[in-house]
Each structure stands twice: as structure tokens, then as C-alpha cells.
Amino acid sequence: MAEPLFERIAFLGIGLIGSSVARIARERGDIAREIVVNARTQKTLDRVMELGFADRVELDPGKAVEGADCVMLCAPVGAFADLAAKIAPHLAQGAVLTDVGSTKQSVIRDVGPLIPAGVHFVPAHPVAGTEYSGPDSGFTTLFQGRWTLVTPPPGTDEVSVEKISELWRRCGSMVERMEAGHHDRVLAIVSHLPHLIAFTICGTADDLADESRQEVINFAASGFRDFTRIAASDPVMWRDIFLNNREAVLEMLQRFMEDAQGMARAIRWGDAEYIEGMVERGRKIRRSLIQQKQA
């Protein structure tokens, strides 16, 4: 077994993502020697002890990070500023502070200024997930063959960037470095806009008259069902993502609405070629995802 990357890792927030990393760390043994977990509620911490992937739990975030040489923020991104303010005075010199948040410019904006000198901040985002949340939902193969995007601001300590990259490789992930603003635009189109559409379409269906609504449930398999899976995601997490990636989400939504208008026009005027072309492009994208094993 390789030497552990860290002596002690502290997780702040332990839902789907945090508990998956913690389970992998426990199973492999070469990520950290000791695992400390903090969450917002004692109930979650009690459950974490039952699940057995932590050495210690700590309700006070400041105490949780004391003596840790790696700290990973795994709460919803809207909670990061408050958490960072609470832990800042307790972070050990030389520690690496990282996160798994789905938006990156906002995290750099909220957390960056609060970090004491001598602590290295390496923002990252594992692009993997399910619609489930909480410490029971994590599993060790979540990141297998998926990408993790590491978005260090210019001037970040390279040794720390490499350690966090290696942590994700040991979790089974492929790692790529990306500028934070670029990350936010890419994620707006591949993740945030599709979720926005899924939440909206479920709302539209729910607004239908009662008898049609029952039919939506009965015949959901014809396409609607895939949207409902995406729309089952955690409301607080998604509220925070939309509010913290506002510009990029609004830009992609604008582009989408223009293209949807294009489809509406084609349907109205019977432009068969345009419609067929759009469907063909969708099929092509699906085929290339399958080829790249990202389907």
C-alpha cells in the first residue's frame, strides 16, 4: 500500500459526496490515517458512527479541523462562507483546504479571502453524483471513471494541488485542471441547465388539471420519467447551485430558450428538415457519450 497522502482528513458535511470519499478513504487506507467528520446535526453524526467510516465525529466545525492536514468542505455551497469563517482560526499551518462544491467561482469568492496565511486552498469538483443525499447514500464506486475538475486560483501551492489531484485519482477519478470561470460555464450547460429544465417540466406537469396529472404518472415511461429522476435531487443543494452560478446559468438558459423557439418555429411552419436535424444532433451526442464510456 502507498503511504497515506494525509495524516488526518476532516470532512465538513457528510452526505452523498463526503461519505463516498470517507468510505473510500476507510477502505483503501492510503488517503488518510485518521478520518474526522463534522455535520450540521448530531443525528447525522450518530448515523456516521453507526456506519463506521469515521474515527471520530465532532459537532463543532472548529474542533473538527484542529490538527487536520486536509480539510474537505462537503456541505451545500451556500454554507461555505459561514463554515470557512468558523474554521479559519482553527486550521493547522500547512493544511490543505479543499471542497467538492458544484460551483467554483463562488467558492473562491466566499472562501478564498478567509483563509489564513500558510493554509493552501485547492478548490475541486467531482463531476459524479446521484439524486440521493445523506450519509447512507454514499458508495465507494461513485467516482470510478468520472472526472474531477480541480480549479486552483493562480499562485496556488503546486504540491497541494498535486496532493488533491492524487486524492481524487485514488478515489478512481480522472483529474483535469480548469480555470474556475470556465468550469462554471461548462457545468452550467452539462448539469445546471438540465436540472433547471427537469425541475421546471415537473412543475409544468404538476400544474396540469387533475385527470391529466394522473395520466402523467401512468404513462411517465415515455420520457417524463428520466426528468423525474433528475428532479428528485436535494432542494437546498440545487437552490445554492442556481444562486451561486447565476450568470452562467442565465446565459445558457437564454441560449436554450432561443433554440427552443427555433424548434417551435420549425414545428409551426412544418420545417421537417430543421426538426430532423435537431434530433440527429441529439443522437450524435448520445453516441459519442457511449463511445467515451460516460453514458
Q: Which residues bind ligand NAP (CB under 6 A)?
A: 13-18, 39-41, 44, 74-77, 79, 83, 100-102, 125-126, 129, 133-134, 234, 237, 241
**Shortest approach of ligand NAP to residue 77 CB, angstroms?**
5
Query: Which of 135, 131, 244 has its CA nearest to residue 195?
Result: 131
Dist CA 29 CA 42 (whole Å): 26
Tell me whether residue 221 or residue 295 sits nearer to ligand NAP (CB atom): 295
Tell me whether residue 17 or residue 25 sits nearer to ligand NAP (CB atom): 17
Other residues' Cβ atoms within 10 Å of the Cβ of residue 219:
11
Tell me whether residue 51 or residue 266 sits nearer to ligand NAP (CB atom): 51
The three-point CA angle 77-80-85 to 5° equals 170
Element (H, E) at 199: helix 193-206
**Shortest approach of ligand NAP to residue 226 CB, angstroms?**
16
Dist CA 133 CA 168 (whole Å): 20
**Shortest approach of ligand NAP to residue 171 CB, angstroms?**
12
**Shortest approach of ligand NAP to residue 129 CB, angstroms?**
2
Phi, psi of 202 (to 5 degrees): -65, -40
**Shortest approach of ligand NAP to residue 167 CB, angstroms?**
15
What grid cell was written down for 131?
A: 439524486
Which residues lie across from 175 on neighbouring strands?
148
Tell me whether residue 8 or residue 192 sits nearer to ligand NAP (CB atom): 192
**Shortest approach of ligand NAP to residue 151 CB, angstroms?**
13
Tell me whether residue 98 or residue 160 sits nearer to ligand NAP (CB atom): 98
Looking only at the bridges linking them, the beta strands covering 147-150 and 70-73 are unpaired
Dist CA 73 CA 82 (whole Å): 11
Tell me whether residue 63 or residue 266 sits nearer to ligand NAP (CB atom): 63
